[in-house]
Amino acid sequence: MIYDADYIVEEKTIVRLFEKNGKKAIRHDTTLEPYIYGLAEEDISRKLSTICAERRGEKVCVKNVELVEKYFAGKKRLFHKITFRHPQDVPSLREEIKMFCKIFEYDIPFVKRFCMDRGIVPLEHIERNPLKVMSLDIEVLCHGAPNARGDPVIMISTWGERGKVFSWKRADTEYVEFCKDERDMFERFFSFLQEEDPEIILTYNGDNFDFPYIEERCRILRIKNAFLDNLAIKKRTRGSEASMVGIVHVDMYPIMRRTMSLTRYTLEDVYFELFGVEKKDIDTGLIPKYWEKEDTRMILAEYALSDAEATYKIGASFLPLQYELCRIVGQMLFDISRSSTSLLVEYLLMRHAFQKNEVVPNKGHGSEGTYEGGFVMEPRKGLHEHVVVLDFKSLYPSIIITHNIDPQTIDCPCCKNNVAPTGHHFCMKKDAFIPSILKTLLEKRGEIKKKMKSDEDKSLYFQQWALKILANSFYGYLAYPLSRWYSKECAEATTAWGRQYLKTIMESAQKHHFSVIYGDTDSLFITMGDANTDNVRHFLEEVNSQLPSPMELEYEGYYQTGLFVTKKKYALYNGKILTRGLEIVRRDWSKIARDTQKSILSTVLQGNPQTAAEIIKDVTKRIKNGDVPIEDLVINTQLTMPPSHYKTKGAHVIVAERLMEEGQEVRVGDIISFLVKKGKGLIRDKAVTYEEFVKNKYEYDPDYYIQNQVMPAVMRIMTAFGYTEDTLKYEKSEQKGLEEWF
């Protein structure tokens, strides 16, 4: 079972395949030489075979050229297959080659090329060969943001078959190993890592923090170790990637951001969302104080171990999904765990292209204009009872399959009856590339879901989940201008048919005497007279009998009440609150704003808007009177680019710049936390860190928190019931009662 791969260059290019078949092994493969394809109007093999260039003082040349028949855009063409001695020769020579012909597949990384060409299925037998997984986390002694140039690592925690913490101050507990200093701690940890010999190391933001920090501290301490020799930190557009030879580093932080929809993505928040219990937590600003004494150092050790344990458990919940994506797409775990869904689709398509003897198109070059997306009906605003939600199952994938939508089938001369609302028609006689792959994915998922009804194998759940993620990403891939199979015409036709199908279903629902209150892309929201859903189920049977296969309208659920505010913003209630598009799901709002909105949503959805108004009035009163804990007023905003790149600098950017001026390290992806103090000036000028706020005993700005936090969070809800800001805010001089507003 192959779990990782890389390559080295000696006399030949050697692909190293890291395998586990009971024991770990490394297999070398020298059978593949780097190559690209060239397309010209005539045979130019002789010209191409003479091309040479200089790289680092050495002469590099094309090794071989041969003519091969390949398919491109559905047509058979004659290509020049241009072979090189080493992967690095491709970027050195391709500009020269482009002077003679158009080139293809020149930007596919060599190991990814090897996986596609050799049909590698990573982790193919993981059930029989489970990988050894270990998590890693570090604690740093710092005042403010950690700076590897001066702030030491004080604890390294791991979790796997057992939990362990390395520390260079004593903490009397069995899982803590005492080391004499930071250098000794690192060396003992590296020895432990060699003994444990894991195949996977899990971190939470290890790409941008733990491993770069470890590398820098070890450089400063002049520590030399085989692990460090095999550790590579590569800078990317949005942060770093940390990889190592023979061990797959899986950073759970980007996986959680892609997979879950949360207010914040701290380790504590993700752990609570997944497992419903609070993870051990401390105020990280107090770490220096915990470090001073042995009794409090025990608390710090418990916290450090809980970080490693939480990371391990989160990994155990989501690694099976990553394994399945690896097996379906055919690429290695390191890359899959860091890939967008569009890139996963691209890997899959390239793999199938090779199997079909197709040359892979080059990447697109950017935006080519906009077009109309899915249909979104303006909702009937307000509170509704007995709400039923109906969803199209995999609407866009089903449309692509049903209408054979593919760049190769557009406007063929033979099929004029499969016409999209956009005017383009698509050939129904061709076995089109993208629809055929999508059909296979959906059919396989359907088979697995049937099997799940009688088979308790947990891996089936992750198999169908992986297939769902991939299938639902095809439309977005077609619509992405930088993708290799980008087609505005295909994407536009898909959404146009989607609008048509949804509108048709809405009209049919009204004819069946249902009240349609909202429609959005692939979902329909209707109300009934009571909680009896029999009529809805009969309606579904009739609709589905008329829809082309594999399209299907499904019953998503019944809700006692639903609050509809505006397009894309609503809340449903069936004992629990389900929100879409409301500020409660945004991480950059203060706790007081989020808690207030959550409270009034619950109250309104249970039919008590007047009580909700009283709650808002009470919250604004407490803010005015200074009765709100400052912890509830902290605003958390993520830094999505370096501070210097922002054209308009918000409060969090200004705070980040101040931290950098103080010598603190600030990275892209960091959550910048701040409060707004009382005083004159712009909001960004009054924004300060929590530590600065407490140290200087500032007072918060009540007007800011009422006007810019609480009121915006609640008014989109309360305007549906006729309230205005003036009727909801507490005013000390107020004499009027609420009853006059009803």
Name the one residue in this structure whose structure tokens are 């500032």.
Answer: 698
pLDDT class for 585, splitting at 50, 70, 90? very low
- Cis peptide bond N-terminal to 550, omega within 30: yes
CB atoms near residue 544 (< 10 Å):
14
**Which is it for strands 133-140 and 200-203: parallel, antiparallel or unpaired?**
parallel
Q: What is the mean pLDDT of residues 465-475?
A: 95
Give 436's contacts (C-beta < 8 A, 6+ positions apart). Answer: none
CATH superfamily of 588-741: B family DNA polymerase, thumb domain (1.10.132.60)
CATH superfamily of 382-579: B family DNA polymerase, palm domain (3.90.1600.10)
Q: Given this chain, do its domains 2-117 and 133-331 carry the same CATH topology?
A: no
Q: Classify domain 133-331 by CATH number.
A: 3.30.420.10
Give 607's contacts (C-beta < 8 A, 6+ positions apart). Answer: 383, 561
User: Cα separation of 142 and 153, whole Å?
Assistant: 9
Distance between first and last Cα of the chain? 70
Q: What is the DSSP letter of 738?
A: G
For 326-337, write each residue's pLDDT tens digit: 999 999 999 999
Q: Which pLDDT belongs to residue 432?
A: 92
DSSP secondary structure of 378-447: PP--EEEEEEEEEEETTHHHHHHHHTT--TTTBT-SS--S-B-TTS-BB-SSS--HHHHHHHHHHHHHHH
Q: Which pLDDT belongs to residue 737?
A: 43
Structure-model confidence comparison of residues 262 and 520, the more confident one: 520
Name the one residue in this structure whose structure tokens are 């586990």.
Answer: 20
Task: Output the six-digit token pair for 247.
Answer: 């061990």
For 216-247, write each residue's pLDDT tens digit: 999 999 999 999 999 999 988 778 999 999 99
Task: Output the six-digit token pair for 106.
Answer: 């020149």
SS3 119: coil
Give phi and psi for 329, each to the nearest 5: -80, -30
Q: What is the mean pLDDT of residues 253-257?
A: 94
Least confident of 114-118, 166-170, 281-285, 533-537: 281-285
- Quick one: what percent of the chain has pLDDT higher than 70? 97
pLDDT class for 584, splitting at 50, 70, 90? low
Average pLDDT, the chain: 91
pLDDT class for 640, splitting at 50, 70, 90? confident
Q: What is the mean pLDDT of residues 522-534?
A: 90
Judge whether residue 735 has pLDDT over 50: no
Q: How far is CA 299 from CA 145, 165, 214, 280, 293, in A?
A: 21, 12, 23, 9, 10
CATH superfamily of 2-117: DNA Polymerase, chain B, domain 1 (3.30.342.10)
Range list of β-strands (E), 466-624: 515-520, 523-527, 553-566, 569-573, 577-580
Q: What is the mean pLDDT of residues 263-268?
A: 82
- For the chain, how many helices (H) and strands (E)? 26, 26
Q: What is the DSSP letter of 700?
A: B
Q: What is the mean pLDDT of residues 567-579?
A: 88
Q: What is the mean pLDDT of residues 155-176?
A: 94
Judge whether residue 269 has pLDDT over 50: yes
Q: Residue type for 674, please?
A: F
For 18-58, write each residue's pLDDT tens digit: 999 989 999 999 999 999 999 999 999 999 999 999 988 89
Q: Which pLDDT belongs to residue 671?
A: 78
Domain locations along the chain: 2-117, 133-331, 382-579, 588-741
Rounded to the nearest 10 degrees, what angle do helices 459-471 and 433-452 cross at? 150
Give 161's contacts (C-beta < 8 A, 6+ positions apart). Answer: none
Give 674's contacts (C-beta < 8 A, 6+ positions apart). Answer: 634, 635, 637, 651, 652, 655, 687, 688, 689, 690
Q: What is the mean pLDDT of residues 200-221?
A: 96
Judge whether residue 583 has pLDDT over 60: no
Helix or strand (DSSP H, E) at 536:
helix 534-546
Give 40's contacts (C-beta < 8 A, 6+ positions apart). Answer: 80, 100, 101, 102
User: Cα separation of 138 and 116, whole Å?
Assistant: 37
Measure the CA dihedral 547/549/551/555, to 10°.
80
